[in-house]
Chains A and B, each alone.
Chain A
Amino acid sequence: MPHFVPRFLRLTATLLVALTSVAEAAEQNDLASLLRIQAEVQKRLPQVRPSLVAIQTGGGTASGVIISSTGLILTAAHVVDKPGRDIRVVLDDGSVTTAKSLGLDQATDAALAQLKDRGKPWPSVNLSREVVKAQPGEWCFALGHPGGFDKARGAVLRVGKIVKQTANSLHTDCVLMGGDSGGPLFNLAGEVIGIHSQIWENRDQNVHVSMAPFLRSWEAMQASQVIKTWGVGAGGYLGVATRMSDAVELEVADVIDGSPAQKAGVRVGDVILGVNSDAMTDQQQFTATIKTKAAGDLVTLLLRTDGKERKVPVTLAQRPREGE
């Protein structure tokens, strides 16, 4: 009766899985692990706190974080609004200085500002370059000046978990409010993983810009030594809409008039097989691939048109502004 054996084995396997997951859950939820998180946060806080700043513009009060000893500040685009703007900056100890806004990305709400030179290094923190590591379930902590700078109160700390990761953002249950915008979200290593951006009604709906939009433009900034205003939009602009065909292939559903794709001869119904040397199998993968490229980058699409494969080089453009 050989069929009894697999049944028995299967049951055993299921039991083992169940036991393992119970044990894991118990370990994860152990009081000791909560206390370990507390110890990590308390160790990191004095290291990162001096790099938190309050930003005062004509329109209101917000936050930011210094990420280089030369005084580069990460903040939110809706805080600085436009490049070249003079902003008032209050440091953790209450001293006041000024900065100028640099580049910003209105689509993702990422922005940079540069502090005035003060003849000695600024306190700074590192940012996390491993964007994908900021996964749902990881513990994190937020700093900011909700309601504005208050010397007696000082910076306000919140500890929580990452709830969601999207292409350009993180959602956490670290509760934010007005004045926190532009402030830093840290991992337990004390690296910046997000910049506070928006809130929704529920307490668990706090949205931060992830490091992805910042890192995407990092190389260009480093190479030129001058931070330029970034192109509007998240990554380069191609101008095609896709769908999955009945044959479960990635198919061009629409080509936007005047877009780089149209100029390069991409047509509705083309099957997208690859981008540069990477094979493309689904829409998310394709979206993510194009998003990692900047305006001006040349990409080669491998397409199949009427049964024939062809390579189409396309130079990505800047995403048109809304309404243009």
Chain B
Amino acid sequence: MTNDEFRMTKEIRNPKPETSPRAPRWLFSSFAIRPSFVIRPFVLRHSLLALFSSAAFADSPRPTLPPEQRTNGKQTLVAVGKVAQPVLACSARIESLLGRPVCAATIVGIDGYILTKASEAPDLEKVRLKLTEGRTAELREIHRDVRFDLVLAQAVGLSKLRAANFGATRSLSHGQWLCSSSGASREPRIGIISANHRQIPGNGAALGIRMDEKAPKEAQGVRIIGIATDSPAEAAGLQAEDVILSIADEPVAQFKSVHEIVNKRQPGEYVEVRYLREGKEESCRVRLASRTKVIQNWEGEDFANGGISLRTDGFPDALQHDIPLAPSDMGGPLATLDGKIVGINIARVDRVTTFALPVESFWTEIQQWINADRHPPKAQAAE
């Protein structure tokens, strides 16, 4: 049984109380089936899925709703075809120089100014902007802000762009429809304001490792005894029994120093980790993530579909909505159905949560940065 199979189905009490998921037994509750005939879903994944749909179909007076008629299906989205235009017009993508999607961006100035999620795009020299109609441009970094996790940049050589028309978020309340764009083809997606607008406290960064408090037998470094699911450490290939020697060139003598080194940094930052594996010295680059999420999702409890953002907290103000977006959609605009841009999507947090920065929280400051960049102070004449 692989870990993946364990994650097939899950009762949604939190945290998961059992070591293995229970079969959705009601599927087999038909009186005609002997208990001994029950098939465990984590044994037979595909046959369960087949049973699942046929059983549901048999009992259902109306057939299963086809995907195109669901909340974010093509037919439902016909209704927002027109109103989604403003949000699609001011959204763009950040991609690697090889064309791999990195994250989304919001166009905030007709002369090429854009905002994107800073922790997803740590090095703007290694990425480029791609507009909906296909044009690409290099980016010039202007200002990077850790509080908002935003970076202001200008797309070099682009002009006459459709910039975001910002509206106010004060009147937004639970249940209000919102719209964003998703994916490389920038399709509209809808959802609602789903929780209170609030500050999201930060709790630093983490690698996602559990450490031995005792000194290792090698007499140096810190031994890893556990790795969190979907964590930065797992992504970088670190394993239990590896002995960490240094992080970002700082030697690690005891487990506390790992916390100290990591805590000085932000989620999204890369650190070089040198470690011993079976007596051999190796190294890898680990990209840090928000500590709170790494700990809460230690065993994959979140069941997040499409993954989550590296940085998910530490925002001065955030709107929470339920639009089905991916981590690579962060940095893009969030709009109301009357076409006003009310925020920038800033973190995909878990299966049900996406945070957006409300426009009031950042726009005044960003405008100052743009103005300062458009009108740089004249150089003082040399005396």
Contact = CB atoms under 8 A, between A and B. Distances in A.
A109 B196 CA distance: 30
A31 to B, nearest CB: 5
B210 interface: no
Interface residues of A, number: 95
Given A107-B29, A176-B12, A160 B71 contact: yes
B29 A178 contact: no
Contact of A34 (B64, B302, B337): B337
Nearest to B29: A234
Nearest to A196: B12
B196 A154 contact: yes
Contact of A157 (B7, B32, B60, B195): B195
A138 to B, nearest CB: 9
Interface stretch (B98-106, B114-122, B131-139, B348-356): B348-356
B237 interface: no
A223 to B, nearest CB: 24
A162 interface: yes
Interface in B69-105: 69-72, 75-76, 78-80, 82-83
Contact of A179 (B13, B26, B195, B305): B13
A45 interface: yes
Interface stretch (A5-13, A263-271, A285-293, A305-313): A285-293
A77 to B, nearest CB: 10
A84 interface: no
Interface in B343-383: 350-353
Nearest to A206: B12
B327 interface: no
Contact of B195 (A153, A169, A241, A253): A153
Contact of A197 (B11, B177, B191, B296): B11
Contact of B26 (A109, A238, A240, A290): A109
Nearest to B22: A78
A161 B13 contact: no
B219 interface: no
A288 B59 contact: yes
A296 interface: no
B131 to A, nearest CB: 27
A164 B79 contact: no
Interface string A242-282: 10000000000110100000000000000000000000000
B239 interface: no
Contact of B351 (A62, A155, A167, A177): A177
B26 A163 contact: no
A79 B104 CA distance: 39
B31 A290 contact: yes
Contacts of B44: none
B24 interface: yes
B350 A147 contact: yes
User: Which of A76, A159, A169, A283 has most B Cβ within 10 Å?
Assistant: A159
A35 B324 CA distance: 19
A116 interface: no
B206 to A, nearest CB: 18
B50 interface: no
A94 interface: no
Nearest to B173: A42
**What's the dominant secondary structure at chain B's contact region?**
loop
B61 interface: yes
Contacts of A181: 11-14
Contact of A241 (B32, B76, B83, B192): B32
Contacts of A204: 67, 70
B97 to A, nearest CB: 32
Interface stretch (A66-74, A95-103, A119-127, A316-324): A316-324
A178 B62 contact: no
B190 to A, nearest CB: 8
Contacts of A152: 196, 198-199
A91 to B, nearest CB: 16
Interface stretch (B33-41, B143-151, B247-255): B33-41
A158 B70 CA distance: 14
Contacts of B216: none
User: Which of B11, B15, B55, B296 has most A Cβ within 10 Å?
Assistant: B11
A165 B26 CA distance: 13
A194 interface: no
B322 interface: yes
A265 B351 CA distance: 52
Nearest to A135: B62
A188 B305 CA distance: 27
User: Which of A38, A155, A204 has most B Cβ within 10 Å?
Assistant: A204
B64 A164 contact: yes
Contacts of B71: 159-161, 173
B175 to A, nearest CB: 4
B351 A135 contact: no
Nearest to A323: B35
A114 interface: no
A108 B71 CA distance: 26
B355 to A, nearest CB: 11
B174 interface: yes
B25 interface: yes
Contacts of A215: none
A153 B76 contact: no
A228 interface: no
B47 interface: no
B319 to A, nearest CB: 12
Given A42-B175, A164-B60, A240-B32, A146 B26 contact: no
Contact of A165 (B12, B32, B60, B301): B60
Nearest to B41: A200
A78 B11 contact: yes
Please give me the 9 A-B residue pairs with the lowest Cβ-Cβ distance, nearest first: A178-B14, A179-B14, A136-B65, A59-B17, A241-B32, A41-B175, A177-B351, A181-B12, A234-B29
Given A60-B17, A167-B26, A168-B26, 11 more contacts: A26-B78, A136-B60, A146-B353, A165-B60, A165-B62, A178-B14, A199-B12, A199-B303, A254-B34, A287-B31, A320-B35
5 contacts: A29-B76, A41-B192, A45-B175, A62-B13, A156-B195
